[in-house]
Amino acid sequence: MIVLQLFIGLLTLVVNAFFVGAEFALISVRRSQIEPQAEAGDR
């Protein structure tokens, strides 16, 4: 049972780290780079 709890805790930590990295990527990108691409229809 303890192994399962540790695994769930570690999994939660890894998922949280992924979302923090994604948030930093969205915040750090410049709006001046995104707007022309959005208007051109680039993904």
pLDDT, tens digit, 9 for 90 and up, residues 1-43: 999 999 999 999 999 999 999 999 988 888 777 888 888 886 6
CA separation (Å) from 24 to 2, 13, 27, 31?
Answer: 33, 17, 5, 14
Q: What is the pTM of this model?
A: 0.63
pLDDT at 43: 62
CA separation (Å) from 19 to 9, 23, 40?
Answer: 16, 6, 28
